Structure 1
């Protein structure tokens, strides 16, 4: 999975949920957690579309 594309997609999802990524960028550890959660979720549910996986993981992150 292309990490650069995934970062851009996660950034766009965060904006949709109202988080200003310019003012509050993700730390390296936050990004690593999101990236690992996305990969794990995709491995657990291979039939799920990657867009759905990313939105689910980002939503869970935002609502914590």
Structure 2
């Protein structure tokens, strides 16, 4: 899975949830943690579309803050 594509999809998802256009205040570690979580879920749920997984992971991340 291409990391740059996943990062871009994560950024777009944050914009959707937070309606921000000034950028997403995430550290590189946050991105890496989200990426690892997305890869893990995708490995376990091969039939689930990547976009759905990213939306779920980002929602969980925002709910935990």
List 4+ stretches of structure 1 deviating above 3 A.
none
Superposition deviation, residue 25 in structure 1: 2.5
SS in 2 for 1:17: helix
- Distance in 2 (alpha carbons) for counterparts of 1:30 and 1:61: 9
Listed one character per residue, the Cα deviations across residues 15-59 of structure 1 (whole Å, up to 9, x for unaligned) are 11116462x421011111100000000011111011111111011
Cα offset for 1:2? 1.2
CA distance in 2, matches of 1:11, 1:19: 11
- Give the aligned partner of residue 33 of structure 1: 33
Q: What is the TM-score with the length of structure 2 in the denominator?
A: 0.86
Query: What is the aligned-residue RMSD (CA, Å)?
Result: 1.4
Matches within 5 A, 1:46-61: 46-61=46-61
- Provide TM-score, normalisation by structure 1: 0.88
